[in-house]
Chain A
Amino acid sequence: MKKLLLGLILLSSMVVNAAGVVNVYTTRHYDADDALYKEFTRETGIKVNVVSDKSAVSISKLKEQGRAPLADIFMTSDAGNLAKAKEAGILQSVESETLETNIPSKYQDDENKWFGLTKRARVFIYSNDRVSEEDLEGLTYESLVTDSRWNDEVLVRSSSNMYNQSLVASFVALNGEEKTSEWVEGLVGQMARNPKGNDRVQAVAVKDGEGDIAIANSYYYGKLVNETDKTSKYYGVAEKTSLYFPNQNEGESGVHMNISGAGVVKNARNKEEAVKLIEFLSMKKQQEAFSATNYEFPVNPEAKMSDLLASWLEEQGLETVKEQDINLNLLGEYNEKALNIMIGSNWDTPKK
């Protein structure tokens, strides 16, 4: 009797898995993703197993797993991480017409080893009460560190965060190491306090008057707008602050636009299912879902950005968002250099 039961259980578990499975190592930690995975399973019957971890750890583990990686997809929220994963040799090339159609070449690896799925801009969040129209005129990444208006007013998170490292890396790619060192040193001089907390916490600090302007990712502002929990410290922050895309004018470099994306792991056991999942996430419907529920910009040119995001452009009088013109792989190449510049300038302890 017991044997029969055991056999049935084994059989049923096999049947459930007959449609396939795909294992994802991801550094993205948004509820919106889980909803999309569930949708994918509903449509294709393929089960999605997800493990969340820090990027370097995942890359390191996958590299060591070598011939028998536990994950089929490596998904992460920064082009620097994707580039590092490629450099570590843990990703494989994928030939997919769907992906070539859906994702412009700027947002995917030229060797097809990783594919961007969403875009996020590293923008300024400023105080409605204390920052005037004049302050915003000519406001750029460069003026943020040179204009005395922002002295002791800038809030940004720590150097250990990848988004900041990529921001600095993008400057190294655009302006070279020396100029970037100057920029970082200038920024450290403008900081209102020692970096602590994440991006949203910087916005909270703006609301609380600890500084007038913060550097944060655009989708976090979307989260703040949609904060409904009255007991949360994030409640009401969006009312007191606004979002600004720097470097949008003629002759300026464009805002730092980073991507989150995914690649298929080398020697993946479920390669086909993995490609299917990435293709799924690049489709117009899912792209618009990313925009609507996680406030990111879609990479698929067919997909429309959500109304909230469109309102941000409208408020600043922008038709489109001007982005930095760099090969995103460079964000990985210059990552360690960027981190060293930041640490060398005492990014984390400006106020001893």
Chain B
Amino acid sequence: MTEALLLPPEAAGPGASFAMRTEGLSAYFGETRAVHDVTLDFPANEVTAIIGPSGCGKSTFLRCLNRMHETLPLTRVEGRVLFHGQDIYADGVDPISLRRHVGMVFQRPTPFPTMSIRDNVAAGLRVQPGPKPSRARVDEIVERALREAALWDEVKDRLNSSATGISGGQQQRVCIARALATSPHVLLLDEPTASLDPISTQKVEELVYELRKTMTVIIVTHNMQQAARVSDRTAFMLSGDMVEVAPTGVMFTAPSDPRTEAYITGRFG
């Protein structure tokens, strides 16, 4: 097992301007194919949104990007996924080390209930390779991550209280801070505002928009307006196929594929 993914973006091979790229990616649940042969680029330092109706495979696709799909039983992946030029599904690649460079935020807030807010945010630091950071360094990182998640001011006085004692929107931002604390190169967001109130949703969207400066963001959402607000490029998936991908402005005003147009204009969804 090689710790194969510590290359900084600049030093990667061909395709270095893409943070991630899938080539012919298919994902299976048992015999059922949920993602069909998808080839897609994710340019560095851009926000790419993936939209589509329920069950079209967008979450499954996303979970292939950090090898979370395979944590479920009876699953299979075909094709290649390049992370800074290296295929993450190649033999000898350790999925755990991949996940330390690719962060993920889930649909529902999942703070660790037995840990304080501070420990939650620092949770990812515990499994990073290398020497353990000092307590002061950890506190610095926690503050930085909470500021990036636009939550610092709200919780700075109760970092040691339980992470379950705050509102759902705040919990989700703790989860985002937790993902940001390890300075991932790519951040995967799976419908991050689906269970949040409108104000929290707005805060998260503003956050996503700002994050492009330091990392690449891929966000799955069933909310087209959200995709239009935060993303640079949008991809539309339908029944496991990647139908169309285009700059966001173009996608929502002049889509090329009739199926895209039908979805966007609300004829189905």
- A and B co-occur in one complex: no
Interface residues of B (CB under 8 A from A): none
